[in-house]
Structure 1
Protein backbone atom coordinates (compact mmCIF):
# COMPACT_ATOMS: atom_id res chain seq x y z
CA UNK A 1 0.00 0.00 0.00
CA UNK A 2 1.43 3.40 -0.91
CA UNK A 3 1.49 6.53 1.24
CA UNK A 4 -0.82 8.55 -1.03
CA UNK A 5 -4.08 9.71 0.49
CA UNK A 6 -7.22 8.18 -0.91
CA UNK A 7 -10.56 9.95 -0.87
CA UNK A 8 -13.50 8.38 -2.71
CA UNK A 9 -11.11 6.26 -4.76
CA UNK A 10 -8.93 9.20 -5.85
CA UNK A 11 -5.29 8.95 -4.96
CA UNK A 12 -3.16 12.00 -4.38
CA UNK A 13 0.56 11.87 -4.93
CA UNK A 14 2.75 14.02 -2.75
CA UNK A 15 3.92 17.30 -4.25
CA UNK A 16 7.52 17.15 -5.38
CA UNK A 17 9.97 19.63 -3.91
CA UNK A 18 10.10 21.41 -7.28
CA UNK A 19 6.30 21.70 -7.36
CA UNK A 20 6.21 22.96 -3.78
CA UNK A 21 8.98 25.50 -4.50
CA UNK A 22 7.13 26.79 -7.58
CA UNK A 23 3.86 27.02 -5.67
CA UNK A 24 5.60 28.80 -2.79
CA UNK A 25 6.95 31.42 -5.22
CA UNK A 26 3.46 31.88 -6.68
CA UNK A 27 1.94 32.19 -3.20
CA UNK A 28 4.44 34.87 -2.21
CA UNK A 29 3.79 36.75 -5.46
CA UNK A 30 0.04 36.69 -4.80
CA UNK A 31 0.37 37.64 -1.12
CA UNK A 32 2.41 40.65 -2.24
CA UNK A 33 -0.63 41.90 -4.21
CA UNK A 34 -2.67 42.39 -1.00
CA UNK A 35 -2.07 45.67 0.81
CA UNK A 36 -3.07 47.01 4.19
CA UNK A 37 -5.10 50.06 3.11
CA UNK A 38 -3.70 52.16 5.96
CA UNK A 39 -0.05 51.35 5.20
CA UNK A 40 1.33 51.46 1.63
CA UNK A 41 3.10 48.10 2.01
CA UNK A 42 1.89 44.60 1.12
CA UNK A 43 0.92 42.12 3.83
CA UNK A 44 3.85 39.81 3.08
CA UNK A 45 6.51 42.49 3.58
CA UNK A 46 4.65 43.80 6.64
CA UNK A 47 5.03 40.38 8.23
CA UNK A 48 1.30 39.84 8.63
CA UNK A 49 1.45 36.29 7.24
CA UNK A 50 2.41 33.93 10.04
CA UNK A 51 1.94 30.50 8.45
CA UNK A 52 1.11 28.98 5.07
CA UNK A 53 0.38 25.27 4.79
CA UNK A 54 -0.14 23.52 1.46
CA UNK A 55 -1.58 20.02 1.22
CA UNK A 56 -0.70 17.56 -1.52
CA UNK A 57 -4.14 18.35 -2.98
CA UNK A 58 -3.11 22.04 -3.15
CA UNK A 59 -5.45 23.14 -0.39
CA UNK A 60 -3.88 26.24 1.16
CA UNK A 61 -4.34 27.24 4.80
CA UNK A 62 -3.02 30.61 5.93
CA UNK A 63 -2.71 32.07 9.41
CA UNK A 64 -2.29 35.81 9.33
CA UNK A 65 -2.75 38.78 11.59
CA UNK A 66 -3.45 42.47 11.28
CA UNK A 67 -1.40 45.46 12.38
CA UNK A 68 -4.05 46.05 15.07
CA UNK A 69 -7.00 43.92 16.24
CA UNK A 70 -9.37 46.83 15.61
CA UNK A 71 -8.20 47.26 12.01
CA UNK A 72 -11.17 48.50 9.93
CA UNK A 73 -10.56 45.88 7.21
CA UNK A 74 -10.48 42.91 9.61
CA UNK A 75 -13.61 41.49 8.01
CA UNK A 76 -12.43 42.06 4.45
CA UNK A 77 -8.72 41.25 4.34
CA UNK A 78 -9.02 37.44 4.70
CA UNK A 79 -11.29 37.46 1.65
CA UNK A 80 -8.79 39.57 -0.30
CA UNK A 81 -6.05 37.07 0.56
CA UNK A 82 -8.25 34.11 -0.38
CA UNK A 83 -9.16 35.70 -3.72
CA UNK A 84 -5.51 36.40 -4.54
CA UNK A 85 -4.42 32.83 -3.69
CA UNK A 86 -7.29 31.28 -5.67
CA UNK A 87 -5.94 32.98 -8.81
CA UNK A 88 -3.04 30.49 -8.78
CA UNK A 89 -3.74 27.70 -11.28
CA UNK A 90 -4.22 24.35 -9.59
CA UNK A 91 -4.99 25.64 -6.09
CA UNK A 92 -8.08 23.76 -4.98
CA UNK A 93 -9.04 25.80 -1.93
CA UNK A 94 -7.81 28.50 0.41
CA UNK A 95 -8.75 29.09 4.03
CA UNK A 96 -7.50 32.20 5.82
CA UNK A 97 -7.63 32.45 9.60
CA UNK A 98 -6.98 35.68 11.48
CA UNK A 99 -4.86 35.13 14.57
CA UNK A 100 -3.68 37.66 17.12
CA UNK A 101 -1.19 35.58 19.06
CA UNK A 102 1.53 36.59 18.89
CA UNK A 103 0.48 40.19 18.34
CA UNK A 104 2.03 41.92 15.33
CA UNK A 105 4.73 44.50 15.90
CA UNK A 106 7.01 46.43 13.53
CA UNK A 107 9.92 44.03 14.13
CA UNK A 108 8.09 41.54 11.88
CA UNK A 109 8.47 43.83 8.85
CA UNK A 110 11.03 43.07 6.17
CA UNK A 111 13.87 45.49 5.50
CA UNK A 112 12.07 46.38 2.26
CA UNK A 113 8.95 47.42 4.20
CA UNK A 114 11.02 49.42 6.68
CA UNK A 115 12.70 51.24 3.79
CA UNK A 116 9.34 52.01 2.20
CA UNK A 117 8.13 53.48 5.47
CA UNK A 118 11.39 55.28 6.33
CA UNK A 119 11.75 53.29 9.55
CA UNK A 120 15.55 52.92 9.52
Structure 2
Protein backbone atom coordinates (compact mmCIF):
# COMPACT_ATOMS: atom_id res chain seq x y z
CA UNK A 1 0.00 0.00 0.00
CA UNK A 2 1.39 3.40 -0.97
CA UNK A 3 0.25 6.87 0.07
CA UNK A 4 0.64 10.06 -1.94
CA UNK A 5 -0.09 13.30 -0.13
CA UNK A 6 -0.86 16.33 -2.27
CA UNK A 7 -1.94 19.79 -1.17
CA UNK A 8 -3.27 22.78 -3.11
CA UNK A 9 -0.63 25.09 -1.65
CA UNK A 10 1.39 25.53 1.54
CA UNK A 11 -1.55 27.07 3.40
CA UNK A 12 -4.19 24.50 2.40
CA UNK A 13 -4.47 21.76 4.98
CA UNK A 14 -6.51 19.18 3.04
CA UNK A 15 -4.79 15.84 2.71
CA UNK A 16 -5.60 13.92 -0.45
CA UNK A 17 -4.39 10.37 -0.59
CA UNK A 18 -4.94 7.14 -2.48
CA UNK A 19 -4.38 3.65 -1.18
CA UNK A 20 -3.10 0.64 -3.08
CA UNK A 21 -1.65 0.56 -6.56
CA UNK A 22 -4.89 0.75 -8.55
CA UNK A 23 -3.97 4.17 -9.97
CA UNK A 24 -1.17 5.27 -12.20
CA UNK A 25 0.58 8.47 -11.16
CA UNK A 26 -1.09 10.35 -14.04
CA UNK A 27 -4.55 9.05 -13.17
CA UNK A 28 -4.12 9.91 -9.50
CA UNK A 29 -3.04 13.44 -10.46
CA UNK A 30 -6.06 13.82 -12.75
CA UNK A 31 -8.47 12.52 -10.12
CA UNK A 32 -6.91 14.73 -7.46
CA UNK A 33 -7.09 17.82 -9.67
CA UNK A 34 -10.68 17.06 -10.67
CA UNK A 35 -11.78 16.44 -7.07
CA UNK A 36 -10.14 19.68 -5.90
CA UNK A 37 -11.82 21.46 -8.81
CA UNK A 38 -15.19 20.03 -7.75
CA UNK A 39 -14.62 21.06 -4.13
CA UNK A 40 -13.87 24.58 -5.33
CA UNK A 41 -17.39 24.83 -6.79
CA UNK A 42 -18.91 24.62 -3.31
CA UNK A 43 -19.11 27.95 -1.49
CA UNK A 44 -19.84 28.83 2.09
CA UNK A 45 -23.01 30.91 1.70
CA UNK A 46 -21.92 33.39 4.38
CA UNK A 47 -18.34 33.87 3.15
CA UNK A 48 -17.63 34.63 -0.52
CA UNK A 49 -15.00 31.92 -0.86
CA UNK A 50 -15.01 28.24 -1.76
CA UNK A 51 -14.77 25.61 0.98
CA UNK A 52 -11.44 24.24 -0.27
CA UNK A 53 -9.63 27.58 -0.09
CA UNK A 54 -11.29 28.30 3.26
CA UNK A 55 -9.61 25.16 4.60
CA UNK A 56 -12.86 23.37 5.44
CA UNK A 57 -11.72 20.14 3.74
CA UNK A 58 -9.48 18.22 6.12
CA UNK A 59 -8.98 14.95 4.26
CA UNK A 60 -9.88 13.21 1.00
CA UNK A 61 -9.17 9.48 0.65
CA UNK A 62 -9.48 7.83 -2.75
CA UNK A 63 -9.86 4.06 -2.38
CA UNK A 64 -8.95 1.32 -4.88
CA UNK A 65 -12.64 0.88 -5.75
CA UNK A 66 -12.76 4.61 -6.61
CA UNK A 67 -14.90 5.47 -3.62
CA UNK A 68 -14.00 8.75 -1.98
CA UNK A 69 -14.16 9.53 1.75
CA UNK A 70 -14.04 13.19 2.74
CA UNK A 71 -13.60 14.70 6.21
CA UNK A 72 -14.72 18.30 6.37
CA UNK A 73 -15.65 20.90 8.93
CA UNK A 74 -17.48 24.22 9.13
CA UNK A 75 -16.32 27.67 10.13
CA UNK A 76 -18.59 27.31 13.18
CA UNK A 77 -20.48 24.27 14.55
CA UNK A 78 -23.74 26.26 14.53
CA UNK A 79 -23.48 27.09 10.83
CA UNK A 80 -27.01 27.38 9.37
CA UNK A 81 -26.14 25.10 6.42
CA UNK A 82 -24.49 22.37 8.53
CA UNK A 83 -27.13 19.85 7.45
CA UNK A 84 -26.93 20.76 3.76
CA UNK A 85 -23.26 21.36 3.03
CA UNK A 86 -22.14 17.69 3.18
CA UNK A 87 -24.72 16.94 0.48
CA UNK A 88 -23.40 19.77 -1.67
CA UNK A 89 -19.88 18.36 -1.33
CA UNK A 90 -21.06 14.80 -2.08
CA UNK A 91 -22.92 15.96 -5.21
CA UNK A 92 -19.97 18.00 -6.49
CA UNK A 93 -17.42 15.19 -6.05
CA UNK A 94 -19.81 12.49 -7.32
CA UNK A 95 -19.95 14.34 -10.65
CA UNK A 96 -16.19 13.84 -11.21
CA UNK A 97 -15.49 11.27 -13.93
CA UNK A 98 -14.00 8.09 -12.49
CA UNK A 99 -15.26 8.62 -8.93
CA UNK A 100 -17.42 5.96 -7.27
CA UNK A 101 -19.36 6.34 -4.05
CA UNK A 102 -18.68 9.50 -2.05
CA UNK A 103 -18.98 9.65 1.73
CA UNK A 104 -18.70 13.03 3.46
CA UNK A 105 -18.18 13.11 7.21
CA UNK A 106 -18.47 16.26 9.27
CA UNK A 107 -15.71 16.58 11.89
CA UNK A 108 -14.98 19.33 14.38
CA UNK A 109 -11.59 18.21 15.68
CA UNK A 110 -9.44 20.10 15.15
CA UNK A 111 -11.70 23.13 15.15
CA UNK A 112 -11.47 25.38 12.11
CA UNK A 113 -9.51 28.62 12.45
CA UNK A 114 -8.72 31.32 9.87
CA UNK A 115 -5.15 29.98 9.84
CA UNK A 116 -6.44 27.11 7.68
CA UNK A 117 -7.33 29.48 4.82
CA UNK A 118 -5.12 29.53 1.75
CA UNK A 119 -3.33 32.69 0.69
CA UNK A 120 -5.89 32.99 -2.13
CA UNK A 121 -8.77 33.02 0.39
CA UNK A 122 -7.01 35.53 2.62
CA UNK A 123 -6.48 37.88 -0.32
CA UNK A 124 -10.07 37.45 -1.55
CA UNK A 125 -11.43 38.20 1.92
CA UNK A 126 -8.97 41.04 2.58
CA UNK A 127 -7.89 39.13 5.70
CA UNK A 128 -4.65 41.05 6.20
State the TM-score, normalizing by the size of structure 1.
0.88
Equivalent position SS for 2:38: helix
Q: Compute the RMSD of aligned alpha carbons.
A: 1.4
Aligned counterparts of 1:89 and 1:116: Cα–Cα separation in 2: 29
Higher strand fraction (1 or 2): 1
Looking at structure 2, the residues matched to 37 and 20 of structure 1 have their Cα atoms a distance apart, in angstroms, of: 30
The correspondence for 2:73, drawn from 65, 69, 76, is 65
Residue by residue, what CA displacement relative to the aligned partner does 1:1-45 show, whole Å, maximum 9, x if unpaired? Answer: xx9xxxxxxxx9611111111100000000000000000000000
Unmatched runs of 5 consecutive residues or more in structure 2: 2-19
* 1:98 aligns to 2:119 (yes or no): no
Equivalenced residues, count:
110
**Where in structure 2 are the equivalents of 1:1-120 lying within 5 Å?**
14-120=22-128
**TM-score normalised by length of structure 2:** 0.83
Distance in 2 between residues matched to 1:83 and 1:99, nearest whole Å? 19
The structure that has the greater radius of gyration is 1
How far 1:104 moved relative to its partner? Answer: 0.1
